[in-house]
Amino acid sequence: MTASQIAKQLHGKRAGKRWQCRCPTGLHAHGDRNRSLSVWESEDGWVRLHCFCGCTRDEIISSMGIKIRALALNEFNPNPEWEQRRKDEDRLKLKERQHGLAIMAQAVLPRERNYWRVVERNLAVEIRRLRDTIYPSEKKDRERAETVQRVIREYGFEYLWECLPMARLQARMMNERKKEA
């Protein structure tokens, strides 16, 4: 679908290289009288939509009854990695909702608390696995924090503080001040 086709559907007027249209979402108080939606074709082969009243692209296209793929000017070839990430993010949202329900079920159903506790733990494991897949930097940060906690437990904070070069320098300076006094 081209920008001009969308503009005709939304009663738009040409404004330079762009079209000014009435936003089709129901979020405007009395309908969009001011043509707050800008529609244009970008250089990367996509039709772009921007509502100056703050409507999102997803809200606009869902109210028009079209899919994002309709905004592609060229043949749409989805990126398999992008598609997999989108599916994983959707699955993560679902698991997080289920996790919340399992927590609530423990409070509401005291006789079945042990069952829901096991369900909650299993969901937490699945959520962590999905988060590690989707957000690898979070996984590295978490692993680093776990390593630091393990080292502090093993050696103690005071010993580790003494191992730092700045801490040694500060300790020497403190000793010299004590000797002078």
Residue 105: per-residue pLDDT: 95
- Backbone conformation region of residue 82, classed left if phi is above 0, alpha if psi is from -120 to 50, else beta: alpha
Instruction: Round the CA-based radius of gyration of the chain to a whole number and report it.
Output: 28
If DSSP codes are grouped into helix, strand and coil, which group holds residue 100?
Answer: helix
Sequence letter at residue 131: R
Q: Could you count the other beta carbons within 10 Å of the beta carbon of residue 160? A: 14
In this structure, what token pair is assigned to residue 72? 């592609």
Instruction: Flag residues of the chain having pLDDT under 70.
Output: 29-32, 76-78, 161-169, 181
Distance CA 99, CA 160 (A): 38
> Which pLDDT score is estimated for 46?
87
pLDDT for position 50 = 92
| 113-134 vs 136-155: helix crossing angle, rounded to 10 | 110
Q: What is the pLDDT of residue 169?
A: 65
Q: Find the distance separating the first CA and the last CA of the chain, reported in whole Å.
A: 83
Contacts of residue 149, Cβ cutoff 8 Å, sequence gap at least 6 = none
In whole angstroms, how far apart are CA 39 and each of 4, 5, 48? 8, 10, 6
DSSP 8-state code for residue 69:
G
Q: Residue 22 has what DSSP assignment?
A: -
Which of 5, 48, 39 is closest to 20 using CA atoms? 39
